[in-house]
Amino acid sequence: MKPLDRHEGDSDSDDTNSQPDQSDRSSSDSASEGGGDPVYFPEEETPVPQASTDPTTLWQNITNDPDLRKLLKDWDEVEKTGKLEKDNSQNQPAELATPDQAKLEALRHEKEEFYRPEITKCIQQSFIHTVMEHATATTLQMTLFLLGLILEQEPDQICSSRHAIPILHQAIDVEVNKEPVRFRGFTSRICKLVDDSNRSAAIAMRNAKEENCLHLVVRHNIHDAKGIISSVSPNSQPNAFTQRRKSAAKLENGNTPLHDALHFERLGRRTIPCQTKELKQSDWCDECKRAAKANKYLPEFKGYYHGIIKELVKGYPDVLKQHNSAGHPPYTFHLETRTQSVESLKRLSQDPPTATTTLTNSKNKGADGQASRPKAKGKSGNDFKLGPRANSWRLDKPPEKDHPNEPINSKTRTEEKHMGTTAKDPNADEDGQKESEGAIEKHKEPWQYDSGSLENSGRIVSYLENNIHDMSGGYEDMIRCFFQDTDTRKTEAQNKQSRPKDCVFRLPTRVTHRTTNNYDFLKFESRLALVSLSLRPELLDSSSNVVQSKDQLKTIADNDAANIIKVFRWLKDKGVTKILKLVVDDNPDRVCSEEAIEKCLECMDEIRFLDWDRPDLAVPTIKKARRLIELSLYSTGTNAVLHHWSDQNGLVQLPKLRKIVVRAEEGLETPQRNIDNLDKFKKRLKKRFKTDKGQEIDVVIDKTDMEGSGNTPSGKDKSQGSPTKASKHAGFEAAGKFALALKNMQRAISTGRKVKVALMDDGVNPEYSDLGTHLACNGFPQSSLDGRLAPFYTSTKGHGSKMAWIISSLCPFVEILVAKIDNQDHPGDLPNPELEVDQAVSAVRWALDEGADIISMSWNFKVTPEVIDEAELLRKMLDKSTAVVYCAARDNRGSDPADTRYYPAECETSQKESLRKIGAATTYNLPQKYVTPDKTDYIFPSENVLPGAADSDGGNSVATAVAAGVAALVLHCLREDKALDRLVKSVTPAKLLNKVFTKLQDSGTKYVDLAELFTCKTGEVPNPRLLVNRVLVHAGLIHPDVESSVLRETSHNKTDFSSYLG
């Protein structure tokens, strides 16, 4: 039986595109005695749809069924209002116009049973795609009715796609771009038609840009986004929460849905300077109009924050550790987009568009005769196009130009007007636009984001920080959540021609009063992953083996406290406010007072992991480290302290604490008594946390130091201290005195950039002879966030520190770029650092990217089949290098076959003047026995260069550093004496230096006579002009008479140079 149609010829009022029914059926005037029940035709008269396997024909037959259309219209009214509107247009009884919901459900069930067989026949012919393709040609209820019958029989049909566009993506396209009003909530309602597994799989399906449904839900903020996100199973594979999309914008490539949700422009509301009482909106500049339209489509923050951001984090908390292709986790991605967006508007306000963008003369017209509009300055893109037609994921439709949802910072954005308005000029062209006369007057107020947007961003940052700290996992998981990948940070900084800030401060030596000065070259992020400090006496410190009095120990303790407090305040002054992990190795002879420790901890807003090696630390002192989640304690087994830690006012008062590691040390109690006390403490503490806070606390007792092993930290830099005075090589001493005189001359101080020398060695200790004043703020490699990789400002054997001292002694105006190519502690003594070949090649690339003027390499590696690729890469880089490269010559002390090659010493390059091999000279200016002159370009001093008897012969390493230092001093003076730039315009620094060194060298021994270049005659005073003239004379670029005239000019100079002699 089929129910009688109650409205003859009725068409759905909401459907303007569907066809009217082809036949009219009359209704019976009779009714049952009860009245109000529907009247039915006899079953044999029920019209059966034509059997058809054509999906389009079937869709037309079903959607043109007037009974079904009326039923679904009534169903929609009941869903929206809970009752039906009375309709007596056909003079029907009121009872028929207002059936209850149960009867509607019965009628719907009959219709479902009636059409189910025909739909079953067409399911395998992509009937679901026919329904989606024609969705907007009918009503929302009709489309959901058909989809419900399809998915009821084959739920996996929701995971199908057509033209590479999945079903749910098509639904979002309908809801956002085609019928945003009639089909509101379309996507969410489809998701409710299937079970969890099929729904999660459908949401994880991706389009050509590898965007899944969650990416699009976030992009368009569609209706019931919270419900769609919460319906995804976190255990489904693939996981929609962690899927990454493609993007042409480097910052956004590889974004997860959470990354997209956290883009600052999703909530950044811009101010509109043109919005004043004096100006109508039609008179606003185009940038203000665009900002107003962009603001219109911004989601309401409260709903967006609670409905999308929180649901994405709640659905899969581990997504906070997911990095995009730019190396950003969601947390740093939000901060970076905020920084870039704010800076972009700032640049736009400072450098507004010029009036030339409105020209329509022949030069500005395109092929179609229309004005072509130049691109605006600014950073390229993001993929965020807010608004109802922001369908950037569709490949079949090009984006509309000048659309109000176009990203604010996009390169495709065009500028037609500028800040302010102008009256129409009588001399304007036919299009009413005047030829450019410069920039239009600026706004009185700059473009910027309103304070509410920045406050909302602060709320999001706080929310993310809290969730990161609350999630399970230890220190390494926190690093992934809070910090961008180290390699990516370095690459980005190189592209911006800037230097990445350090996220780690790992002091290689004990803290002293000179620490802050020696390491002041470093620049830090506001949050550091690790700070590791030590107050423990150095192994080579002679005073550590001397029995000291109480007064002496107190003085040492007071000095240590003052020094370490100074370090923390120095970090704060450098912008550091948060430390993820703090490790302090206290002085075991006299530990810091609790007052000193409190002053240190109070300098930071947050410390999450605390490991201060100070026994029996009191809880009030520990509380100064805010928001602790993991704590390392040192216990001597004193029961009073253990009870203090475990009572109701003890460690349980730390709100975020979830793990405690107690390291037992030998104390007054016997070892067994100590162990018993600690075991009881652990039970009490776990019970206290369970009783007072209802949570478990992880307590670990470390008993390895119970017997007092007496171990001290190893791997310390053996180059601590400064070199002592000793007799010097004559050539080196002459160059050093000349450099010292220039340093003492105020007018010789460099006014331009310093000469950059890349030193590739085993690192440099900034405290070695105060070398920190000469080091660049970053080095190679970047410090690992977990602190396992030694930073560049640690020297494994002290070799690099000594080479840096030589270079800076010969050229005080140098900036040393330190490349630490020996990051492991190798046995044996130097002269040459042991290295990994791939790391050394990467260091050379880094030095060239940093713009090094000179590269000093005191090492070689054997070219074997295993490293042939790295060797060839090194050769190509040196071949294209514009830097002056000095490397240690190969010595003849080995037993390798004659055909064995060592790089870089035996690296053949087309630009031979750029790479020079340096050998070592004796005090008699003769080559050392291990030097082969035929395989060496220059011989430089190596004996009596470094102080001390043990360093009498520094080998080819020292000679290479001397060559680099002399070259740096020459380049510095050439830059200082700008009047002679024209003489060296056509000569590269490498060619010039080679000419000079070749002229100075002995033809037989190849020794370069530095004394000839740097020794001043009677009446001569060291100054840049003097050295430049000597260099140019030796290079054959000027005649010796020029030098004489310059010297005479210098001798008559009013300045008294004698006071600058060192």
**At 1026, which helix (H) or strand (E)?**
helix 1024-1034
Residue whose C-alpha is closest to residue 746's, from 1054, 1018, 1023, 1051? 1023
Could you report the per-residue pLDDT of 1017-1037, keeping only the tens digit for each?
777 778 888 888 888 888 777
Name all contacts of 43-49 with Cβ < 8 Å and 24+ positions apart.
Answer: 43/1, 43/2, 46/1, 46/2, 47/2, 49/115, 49/118
Mean pLDDT in residue range 22-39? 36
Could you report the per-residue pLDDT of 136-188, keeping only the tens digit for each?
999 999 999 999 999 999 998 898 887 778 999 999 999 999 998 999 999 99
Residue type, 645: W
- What residue segments make up the domains of the chain, in order of their start? 471-539+547-702, 730-1049
More confident residue, 857 or 487: 857
Q: Which CATH architecture has domain 471-539+547-702?
A: Alpha-Beta Horseshoe (3.80)
Tell me whether domains 471-539+547-702 and 730-1049 share a fold: no
Q: Using CA atoms, how far apart are residues 693 and 658, in angstroms rounded to an integer?
A: 11
Q: Residue 416 — very low, low, confident or very high, per pLDDT cuts 50/70/90?
A: very low
Look at residue 600 in the predicted model and tell me its pLDDT: 95
What six digits make up the tokens of 1025?
A: 């002009």
More confident residue, 1039 or 962: 962
- The CATH fold of domain 730-1049: Rossmann fold (3.40.50)
Look at residue 1005 in the predicted model and tell me its pLDDT: 87
Residue 747 has pLDDT above 60, yes or no: no
Q: Which of 236-245, 433-442, 496-505, 595-604 has the lowest mean pLDDT?
A: 433-442
Q: What is the mean pLDDT of the chain?
A: 76
Q: Using CA atoms, how far apart are residues 317 and 464, in angstroms rounded to an integer?
A: 10
Name the most confidently modeled range: 77-81, 450-454, 806-810: 806-810
Give the phi and the psi of residue 399 in degrees, each rounded to 5.
Answer: -65, 145
Catalytic residues: 761, 799, 957
Look at residue 727 in the predicted model and tell me its pLDDT: 53
Residue 379 has pLDDT above 60, yes or no: no
Look at residue 904 in the predicted model and tell me its pLDDT: 83
More confident residue, 590 or 444: 590
Look at residue 80 in the predicted model and tell me its pLDDT: 75
Q: How far is CA 957 from CA 889, 890, 995, in A?
A: 9, 11, 23
What six digits make up the tokens of 40?
A: 């039915």
Residue whose C-alpha is closest to residue 500's, from 489, 508, 515? 489
SS3 875: helix
Longest dimension (CA), the chain: 136
Name, in order, each residue with C-beta under 8 angstroms of 1033's C-beta and a sequence gap of 6 or more. Answer: 1039, 1040, 1042, 1043
242 touches 418 (CB < 8 A) = no
Residue 610 has pLDDT above 90, yes or no: yes
Q: Residue 435 — very low, low, confident or very high, per pLDDT cuts 50/70/90?
A: very low
Q: What angle do CA 771, 776, 777 make, to 5 degrees?
A: 110
Residue 367 has pLDDT above 80, yes or no: no
Q: Which of 96-110, 465-479, 507-521 has the lowest mean pLDDT?
A: 96-110
604 touches 568 (CB < 8 A) = yes
Q: Using CA atoms, how far apart are residues 613 and 793, in angstroms rounded to an integer?
A: 24
How would you label 391-402 residue by residue, b for 16+ Cβ within 10 Å and e otherwise? bbbeeeeeeeee
| Full-model pTM | 0.69
More confident residue, 30 or 477: 477
